[in-house]
């Protein structure tokens, strides 16, 4: 059976096909109004539609619905007296001294946040069963209000979900779509639990509709969905818990970057994924970084998510003047339609247009020559823009690149320098259709010594999906003091979660021999508000002290600790493709040189060599300035950079001293 990794981006939808005869790739323009149209077109053009194949899909449907506030009309049911829970939140302000800060906009209007007469205590005892007569009246009210989905989150339901289950049965009887917090997140902290449940309910009808259509269109071929934790699940599981797909596409890129870098001998990397709409960066110090505390569109999510920082800077990011007359780039994007000016229909200058004018794109060989670019349109648009600033068009284009680079540089600093990491200890692994054009510039600014531009960099996120396992996460708040948290007690508490995890992986089609159930603990010092995650072992206290010392610079081994949550990472191990090695051809890259063209860097013009990526051999050495063209991406080598092609076809770039 052919396996297909599909990454739906803002501008392009990427395909990586893996079959008995090897691997091939394809790209089509995305169809934002219905992403499934681009998927079907790409499968058809890739030659697999009508045959037997398996799809692993990174979807942006949930993300876009949340960012654009285009999800379901939602209601919130909670314990009576706590109806303001989502609006009050933690009462924290993003900018403490800014009196003009924007108010957080909740997903649910206050009129649809309703209290149910019920009460469960912190120890799990049900003090007051849910009033089902009242619930029936609430359901009638919600149907009159046109509510499409309901989020249910009662106080202390992580300790005992009995009251939530009673209400959910009633909602099910009445045909209402709902999400319950005991299914989405069995952890204490009611605000984060309620917010995560609300997001799940908000996107559930949309994801169920989208995935249902996709499954029907591709039937009988199976559809898997990439999750934010770096693993994939069946479409059925994704429909049940769609909040796990919020960072679906970028997660595939992080997995692919980790695997490519490890094979090339670089265990410590900063992944840099620049596409048409946004840039995603993540730090991997030996393994992918995960976080259980994320915020998407001002909404907290308490789920294991790959620690990815995203900024609105991509090839399609639009350049404009702000109210003060300063040049800005992004986050608005031209997307796939109308696209950059050079695509032939757009009329707003983008980063891609600036790169094209500066000679950093080859208009005759874009997408392997299958897509025509119009450089004269870009030139005229940049000249019009530049005349408003009394600048030369080339100076404006370089200014646009510098502004876009500054946004991406700040993003990399957030996940590295601001967390105590030295960027000089890492390599920058660049991918995405536009990443290779900016990676060397960013490495210079951040003093990163090595840039890796992998083969087929423009579709690495789709490839990462084929390199992923099935991963499901489970958690449970237990709040046990260190003296009570004996190994036997923790093992007892883990057993129900282990049974659930094994059962769910079995439903995903995995035999016991292919299952890995990994146990973790969230631990903190008694009196602290937040915790750190360590592997479960008899030495978990020692591991916690060490991690606390590394993260915060101090540890107190005499201070008592508390186990807050149990976590299980259930992994269904899949067969993965191996990276093919290329033939070594010596240092001279002349057989791969296909052209020479003018390129501009820092106000100076250069004659640069242009190389075909597929003709480069192992051990080839390339000196900048140069342009290296792949079917789906372009790598720009500025002056004073030297590139080496390794045995897997990766381009390893370093600046000459």
DSSP string across 561-625: EEEEEEEEEEEE----PPPPPPPB--S--GGGEEEEEEEEETTEEEEEEEEEGGG--BT-EEESS
Domain boundaries, the chain: 67-207, 470-572, 590-655
With cut-offs at 50, 70 and 90, classify the pLDDT of residue 321: very high
Residue 170 has a pLDDT of: 96
Mean pLDDT of 625-631: 94
Q: Is the pLDDT of residue 9 over 90?
A: no
Beta carbons of 229 and 567 less than 8 angstroms apart: no
Kindly give, in sequence order, each residue whose CB lies less than 8 Å from that of residue 13, ignoring residues fewer than 6 positions away.
6, 7, 27, 28, 29, 30, 31, 35, 38, 39, 42
CA distance 150 to 204: 10
With cut-offs at 50, 70 and 90, classify the pLDDT of residue 84: very high
Beta carbons of 619 and 585 less than 8 angstroms apart: yes
CA distance 67 to 13: 20
SS3 500: helix
Token representation of residue 435: 């990443």
**Mean pLDDT rounded to a whole number for the chain:** 93
By DSSP bridging, strand 593-601 and strand 604-612 are: antiparallel
Q: Is the dihedral of CA 184, 187, 192, 194 positive or negative?
A: positive
Residue that is written with structure tokens 């031209």 in the block: 334
Q: Which residues pair with 601 in a beta bridge?
A: 604
Give the DSSP letter of residue 418. Answer: G
SS3 293: coil
SS3 264: helix
Q: How do residues 52-78 score in pLDDT, each as one tens digit?
A: 999 999 988 888 788 778 899 999 999
CA distance 114 to 126: 20
CA distance 437 to 358: 11
Query: What is the rounded (10 degree) CA torsion for 357, 359, 363, 369?
Result: -160
For helices 132-144 and 162-173, angle between their N-to-C axes, nearest 10 degrees:
50
Mean pLDDT of 565-592: 92
CA distance 539 to 541: 5
The DSSP result for 632-657, as a single string, is S-EEEE-TTEEEEE-TTS-EEEEE--
Q: How do residues 174-205 score in pLDDT, each as one tens digit?
A: 999 999 999 999 999 999 999 999 999 999 99
Q: How do residues 425-459 score in pLDDT, each as one tens digit?
A: 999 999 988 999 999 999 999 999 999 999 889 89
Question: 368: burial class by Cβ within 10 Å (0-12, 13-18, 19+)?
Answer: middle
* Straight-line distance from the first to the last Cα atom of the chain, in angstroms, rounded to the nearest whole number: 49
Q: Which of 14-18, 74-78, 296-300 has the lowest mean pLDDT?
A: 296-300
Token representation of residue 181: 């917090």
With cut-offs at 50, 70 and 90, classify the pLDDT of residue 406: very high
Q: Is the dihedral of CA 49, 55, 58, 61 positive or negative?
A: positive
Mean pLDDT of 483-509: 94
Kindly give, in sequence order, each residue whose CB lies less than 8 Å from that of residue 379, ignoring residues fewer than 6 positions away.
357, 393
For 3, 9, 49, 468, the CA distances from 428, given in Å and listed in that order, are 29, 22, 37, 21
Kindly give, in sequence order, each residue whose CB lies less than 8 Å from that of residue 389, ignoring residues fewer than 6 positions away.
321, 327, 396
Residue that is written with structure tokens 């958690």 in the block: 475
By DSSP bridging, strand 427-431 and strand 268-274 are: parallel
With cut-offs at 50, 70 and 90, classify the pLDDT of residue 482: confident
Beta carbons of 292 and 479 less than 8 angstroms apart: no
Q: Going by CATH, does the domain composed of 67-207 fall within 3.40.50?
A: yes
In terms of Cα–Cα distance, which of 478, 493, 480, 490 is closest to 526?
480
Q: Which of 317-326, 481-490, 538-547, 609-618 has the lowest mean pLDDT?
A: 481-490
> Which CATH number is associated with domain 470-572?
3.30.1490
Helices (H), 219-359: 235-240, 248-264, 351-357
Kindly give, in sequence order, each residue whose CB lies less than 8 Å from that of residue 560, ignoring residues fewer than 6 positions away.
481, 482, 483, 525, 526
Token representation of residue 241: 């818990």
Q: How do residues 103-145 score in pLDDT, each as one tens digit?
A: 767 789 999 999 999 999 999 999 999 999 999 999 999 999 9
């Amino acid at each position: 059976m052919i396996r297909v990794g599909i990454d739906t981006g803002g501008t392009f939808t990427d395909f990586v096909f893996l079959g008995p005869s090897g691997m091939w790739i394809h790209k089509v323009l995305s169809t934002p109004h219905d992403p499934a149209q681009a998927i079907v077109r790409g499968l058809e053009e890739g030659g697999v539609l009508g045959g037997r194949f398996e799809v692993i899909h990174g979807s942006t449907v949930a993300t876009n619905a949340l960012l654009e506030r285009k999800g379901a009309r939602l209601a919130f049911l909670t314990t009576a007296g706590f109806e303001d829970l989502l609006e009050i939140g933690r009462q924290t302000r993003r900018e403490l001294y800014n009196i003009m800060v924007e108010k957080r906009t909740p997903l649910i209007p206050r009129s649809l946040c309703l209290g149910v007469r019920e009460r469960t205590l912190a120890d799990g005892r049900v003090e007051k069963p849910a009033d089902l007569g009242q619930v029936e009246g609430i359901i009638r009210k919600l149907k009159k209000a046109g509510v499409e989905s309901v989020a249910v989150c009662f106080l202390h339901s992580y300790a005992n979900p009995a009251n939530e289950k009673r209400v959910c049965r009633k909602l099910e009887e009445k045909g209402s779509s709902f999400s319950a917090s005991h299914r989405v997140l069995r952890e204490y902290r009611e605000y984060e639990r309620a917010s995560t449940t609300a997001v799940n309910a908000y996107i559930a009808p949309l994801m169920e509709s989208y995935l249902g259509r996709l499954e029907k269109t591709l039937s009988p071929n199976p559809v898997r969905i990439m999750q934010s934790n770096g693993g994939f699940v069946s479409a059925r599981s994704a429909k049940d818990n769609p909040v796990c797909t919020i960072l679906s596409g970028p997660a595939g890129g992080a997995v692919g970057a980790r695997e490519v870098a490890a094979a090339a001998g670089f265990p410590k990397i900063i992944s840099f994924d620049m596409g048409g709409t946004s840039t995603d960066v993540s730090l991997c110090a030996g393994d992918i970084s995960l976080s259980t505390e994320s915020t998407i569109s001002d909404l907290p999510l308490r789920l294991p998510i790959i620690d990815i920082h995203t900024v609105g800077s991509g090839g399609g990011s639009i350049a404009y003047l702000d109210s003060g007359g300063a040049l800005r780039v992004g986050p608005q994007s031209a997307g796939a339609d109308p696209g950059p000016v050079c695509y032939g229909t757009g009329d707003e200058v983008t980063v891609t247009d600036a790169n094209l004018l500066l000679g950093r794109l080859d208009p005759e060989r874009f997408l392997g020559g299958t897509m025509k670019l119009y450089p004269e349109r870009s030139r005229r648009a940049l000249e019009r823009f530049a005349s408003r600033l009394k600048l030369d068009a080339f100076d404006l284009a370089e200014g646009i690149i510098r502004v876009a680079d500054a946004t991406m540089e700040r993003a990399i600093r957030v996940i590295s320098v601001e967390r105590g990491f030295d960027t000089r200890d890492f390599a920058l692994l660049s991918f995405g259709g536009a990443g290779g054009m900016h990676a060397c510039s960013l490495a210079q600014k951040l003093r990163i010594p090595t840039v890796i531009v992998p083969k087929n960099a423009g579709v690495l996120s789709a490839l990462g999906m084929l390199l992923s396992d099935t991963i499901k996460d489970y958690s449970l708040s237990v709040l046990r003091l260190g003296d009570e948290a004996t190994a036997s007690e923790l093992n007892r508490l883990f057993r129900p979660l282990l049974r659930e995890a094994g059962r769910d992986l079995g439903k995903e089609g995995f035999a016991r021999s292919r299952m890995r159930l990994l146990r973790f603990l969230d631990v903190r010092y008694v009196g602290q508000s937040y915790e750190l995650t360590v592997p479960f072992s008899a030495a978990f206290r020692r591991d916690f002290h060490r991690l606390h010392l590394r993260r915060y610079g101090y540890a107190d081994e005499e201070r008592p600790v508390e186990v807050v949550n149990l976590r299980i990472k259930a992994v269904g191990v899949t067969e993965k493709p191996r990276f093919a090695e290329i033939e070594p051809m010596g240092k001279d890259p002349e057989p791969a040189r296909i052209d020479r063209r003018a390129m501009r860097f820092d106000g100076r013009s250069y004659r640069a060599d242009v190389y075909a990526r597929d003709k480069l051999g192992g051990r080839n050495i390339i000196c900048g300035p140069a342009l290296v063209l792949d079917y789906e991406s372009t790598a720009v080598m500025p002056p004073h950079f030297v590139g080496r092609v390794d045995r897997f076809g990766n381009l390893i770039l370093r600046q000459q001293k």
